Structure 1
Amino acid sequence: MSTGGTGEFLIKPWEVRGEGREFGKISQDFGGAAKALEQGMAGLGTPWGGDAPGSGFGALYTEAQGMLLAGLNGLASRLGQVGANLNTMADSVERTDGDVSADLGKVHPGVAPVAPPRV
């Protein structure tokens, strides 16, 4: 988050990790909803029949159903990846802050390195 035009930029790794956990939960919930939809649709069977109009409809429906379910499952997976990437970002920020703090302690011996808070 920006601090309002001061040229500073602040990232709180513990907050980023929290958002990563939220995306992980959303991913799991969304994936569960997609699975429930898939099971519900499978439970319908093939009520359109085996005649020419029913077969034509069934072929189109089955293709569209497959694309829909693949899209929903893909979205659930991408949401989970966003969460994982946020955790990676938090780790990187924390590691970089620690490295910079340690380097400042070497350049300015009177400055003690400050470890970022862990949550």
Structure 2
Amino acid sequence: MAGGNTGASGRAGGEFVLKPWELRGEGREFEKLGGELAKAVTALEQGLAALGAPWGADQPGSGFAAVYGQARGELVDGLRGLAGRVTGVGAGLHTMAGRTADADSSAASGFGATAVPGAAGSAGAPGVSPVTSAVYSTAPGATPGAVPAVPEDRPV
């Protein structure tokens, strides 16, 4: 992706950090890529249409046209669907960023704290609360402020 550090934190103990501002940035990248792919599909479709039907109307040409027409439609439809899904990943990352920010703010207020102003890349933007990055731990004895790992079920 765009060089973000939204995934593994590099810390020992199985922690990962979610930074809403990075998720939003990656979401914008996916949306941009989806839009570029959609434009490329349109250009491909127009280019193929401009070729016309150079295979002829004889028996071999007609056989080719029947298979080509179906395959061409499936290819273009599949590529359009892929462009939509890539764009959808971007929208999903925006949703994930918002939910992470909301969860962090809610957790902080539950402990009587507030989020750190200016920590988010969109601090000061209308309707956007400044939040810190969320740290989730999967290690026993995690540092304070980290969400504890869910204990695994063990037979008695």
Query: Under a length normalisation based on structure 1, what TM-score does the superposition of the two structures give?
Result: 0.89
Query: Which residue is 1:117 aligned to?
Result: 120
Equivalence for 1:37:
44
Gaps of 5+ in 2: 1-6, 123-156
Report the Cα offset of residue 117 of structure 1.
2.2
Consecutive unaligned residues in structure 1, runs of 5 or more:
106-111
* Aligned position for 1:108: none
Task: Deviation per CA, 1:85-119: give whole Å up to 9, x if none.
Answer: 000000000000000001000xxxxxx31255252
Q: How many residues were matched structurally?
A: 113
Counterpart code for 1:74: G
Superposition misfits of 4+ residues, deviation over 4 angstroms: none
Q: CA separation in 1, counterparts of 2:14 and 2:108?
A: 19
The residue aligned with 1:10 is: 17
Q: Which AA in structure 2 matches 1:20?
A: G
When normalised by structure 2's length, the TM-score is 0.69
- Tell me, yes or no, if structure 1 residue 85 matches structure 2 residue 89: no
Q: In the alignment, which of 63, 68, 73 is matched to residue 61 of structure 1?
A: 68
One-letter code of the match for 1:10? V
Structure 1: distance between partners of 2:82 and 2:13: 37
Structure with larger RCO (C-alpha < 8 A, sep 6+): 1
Q: Which has the higher helix share?
A: 1
CA apart distance, 1:9:
2.7
Distance 1:55 1:92 in 2: 55
* AA aligned opposite 1:2: A
